[in-house]
């Protein structure tokens, strides 16, 4: 074989080996970076672009796909200790022309981290209102979607800014009285009765790989079995934020926040949809009955084989429910016109 040909083959092999070595090294040495890369690739595949916008000196970080059109925009509010990427699993099932905005909640991921005044439910509502104005979502009614803590915030926002909304979807929302408490809520209540909420004992604030795995099992119905390195990567991305998460938890479970949605239900006028996993171990699905009692016309979907993390357990079904609900509201609006 010609020496030049051999050299070319060797060079090609070396070039191909580089990315393999990089990925392998990243997997074993920096698994958190691998997860960030995966999310970046996933956003790119779904046509999402990350943007930042300021309100004064406060920075909001968000993902966006598409531009506002005749159909109401979707604004997605994630839950406690999550971020805008929480919604990635449902993106591929939403219509490509749908304008979608997913924002990092106050203090989470890329949004500014300030102090307790912004982490209570009302504080977060105030900040989200600023974000809505900053990106111009208030120019026409939009569809607001919130999950868990984000559901509490979304409900209170809907009560305080009814003219901004075309529709409201609450997914396993916190903030109401429940006929039945989940084991997680009972644990928090027991801690409060003892006079101290210890972050290291809260299942949603993991400090070890085992606790990380336990948290995923708590939130998901589907059997979560991840390689140890991936668990380490997930944990590594959270550990630096655990003090912040502890602070947020104290604020959203305080007396002024824990019933915020409950106290606002009578002021919600937007068409309401409720989605809940029947196997939710974080917030018991009996909360759906409270919402339906307050709003008999609301549409309630209780999902089989689904836990608290609806976007992970049933992403296709969640996207379908959101799309169908919004389409129904558009049809209803046209008929009235």
Could you tell me how far CA 204 lies from the centroid of its own chain? 14
Burial (CB count within 10 angstroms: exposed 0-12, middle 13-18, buried 19+), residue 191: middle
**Active site annotation includes 148:** yes
Tell me the angle at which helices 228-238 and 209-219 cross, rounded to the nearest 10 degrees.
90
Q: For 82, which DSSP code? A: -
Q: List strand residue ranges (DSSP E) for the chain, in order.
A: 49-55, 58-65, 74-77, 100-103, 142-147, 165-171, 272-277, 299-303
Of 4, 282, 38, nearest to 147 by C-alpha is 282
Structure tokens at 62: 């968000």
Cα–Cα distance measured from residue 293 to residue 280, given in angstroms and rounded to the nearest whole number: 20
Which one is catalytic: 111, 147, 148, 209?
A: 148
Which one is catalytic: 78, 108, 295, 308?
A: 308
Which one is catalytic: 85, 104, 118, 280?
A: 280
Catalytic residue numbers? 148, 280, 308
């Amino acid at each position: 074989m010609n020496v030049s040909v051999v050299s070319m083959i060797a060079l090609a092999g070396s070039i191909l080996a580089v990315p393999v070595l990089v990925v392998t090294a990243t997997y074993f040495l920096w698994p958190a970076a691998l997860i960030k890369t995966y999310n970046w690739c996933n956003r790119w595949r779904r046509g999402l672009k990350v943007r930042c916008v300021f309100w004064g000196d406060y920075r909001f970080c968000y993902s966006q796909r598409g531009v506002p059109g005749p159909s109401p925009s979707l604004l997605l509010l994630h839950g406690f200790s999550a971020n805008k990427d929480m919604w990635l699993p449902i993106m591929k099932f939403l219509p490509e022309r749908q304008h979608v905005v997913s924002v990092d909640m106050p203090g989470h991921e890329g949004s500014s981290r300030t102090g307790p005044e912004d982490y209570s439910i009302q504080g977060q509502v105030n900040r989200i209102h600023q974000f809505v104005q900053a990106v111009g979502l208030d120019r026409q009614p939009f569809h607001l979607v919130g999950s868990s803590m984000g559901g509490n915030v979304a409900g209170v926002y809907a009560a305080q800014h009814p003219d901004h909304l075309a529709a409201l979807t609450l997914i396993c929302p916190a903030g109401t009285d429940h006929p039945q408490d989940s084991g997680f809520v009972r644990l928090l209540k027991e801690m409060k009765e003892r006079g101290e909420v210890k972050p290291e004992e809260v299942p949603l604030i993991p400090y070890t790989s085992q606790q990380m795995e336990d948290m995923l099992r708590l939130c998901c119905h589907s059997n979560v079995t991840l390689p140890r390195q991936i668990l380490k990567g997930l944990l590594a991305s959270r550990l630096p934020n655990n003090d912040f998460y502890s602070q947020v938890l104290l604020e959203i479970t305080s007396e002024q926040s824990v019933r915020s949605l409950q106290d606002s239900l009578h002021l919600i006028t937007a068409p309401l949809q409720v989605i809940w996993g029947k196997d939710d171990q974080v917030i018991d699905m009996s909360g759906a009955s409270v919402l339906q009692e307050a709003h008999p016309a609301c549409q309630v979907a209780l999902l089989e084989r689904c836990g608290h993390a609806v976007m992970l357990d049933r992403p296709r079904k969640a996207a379908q429910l959101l799309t169908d609900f919004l389409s129904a509201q558009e049809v209803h609006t046209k008929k009235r016109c």
